[in-house]
Amino acid sequence: MAVRAAAAVLNQASKNFRFIVSDNSKDNQAIDRLNELDESLVIIRRQRNLDARLHWKLCVEECDSTYIALLHDDDELHIDFVETFWNWEDKIDHFSALGMNAVICVNDRPHKRSFMSAEALEGPLFFHEILDSYFAKFSRAIVPFPGYIFKTSLLKKIDLDRNYGKYSDVRILVELTNYSGI
């Protein structure tokens, strides 16, 4: 999965980004396969089996760019993910994160439309809209956490040391609305 995810990043229509792989897997199998994919990949080898929350915290702390996206090894970006971000980033004055839509695929085919929105742009979303989109009975579509590109400076203000449990991604989004809409 990690190789497909990395290939999707490398195949972006827009090359206006820096791609860093932060690997905390149990062995070197993923690194070996990623090096076969592209020898120029920047790969940071982490402590084996580093807790996901701490792993993301490290990535955020080390980030020196204006924006950051945190992807899992099973997330495949649409070819226009980065280009879509830059198109909207140019049009919106203030935001803490921009979320791109997503499709759940099973066996390489769209499985369900649970993340799909009918509109090209929704927002800005703040505290209650974020909570409603995730938990209300008849909620609008949501953006899965790996679909967001965050303003790094604002994400660094969030307490990533705390374990928020199953809905930690929602908690982070809600806290970001203290600074600007999503």
For 31-40, the CB contacts below 8 A with 24+ separation are 33/2, 33/3, 34/2, 34/3, 34/6, 37/3, 37/6, 37/7, 37/10, 38/6, 38/10
Tell me how far apart the alpha carbons of residues 46 and 41 are, in angstroms, rounded to a whole number. Answer: 15
Encode pLDDT of 68-89 as tens digits.
Answer: 999 988 888 899 999 999 999 9
What is the pLDDT at residue 129? 85
What pLDDT score does 113 carry?
57
Q: Does the pLDDT of residue 10 top 80, yes or no?
A: yes
| Angstrom distance (rounded) from CA 46 to CA 68 | 19
Q: Is 156 exposed, middle or buried (0-12, 13-18, 19+ CB in 10 A)?
A: middle
Q: Which of 41-55, 75-89, 107-121, 158-172 has the lowest mean pLDDT?
A: 107-121
Mean pLDDT, range 117-140, rounded to an integer: 74
Give domain limits for the chain.
2-176
Q: What is the pLDDT of residue 116?
A: 58
User: Rounded CA gap, 40 and 42, in Å?
Assistant: 6
Alpha-carbon distance of 95 to 80, in angstroms, equals 20
3-state class of 105 per DSSP? strand
Q: What is the mean pLDDT of residues 94-101?
A: 89
Q: Once rounded to an integer, what is the mean pLDDT over residues 28-37?
A: 88
Under the banding of pLDDT at 50, 70 and 90, the label for residue 140 is low
Compute, in degrees rounded to 10, the torsion defined by CA atoms 112, 113, 115, 118. 180
Residue 12: band (very low, low, confident or very high) from pLDDT cuts 50, 70, 90: very high
CATH 3.90.550.10 is held by the domain 2-176? yes
Q: What is the mean pLDDT of residues 101-107?
A: 73
First to last CA, the chain: 29
- Distance of CA 53 to CAs 49, 59, 96, Å? 11, 10, 20
Q: How do beta strands 104-106 and 148-151 pair? A: unpaired
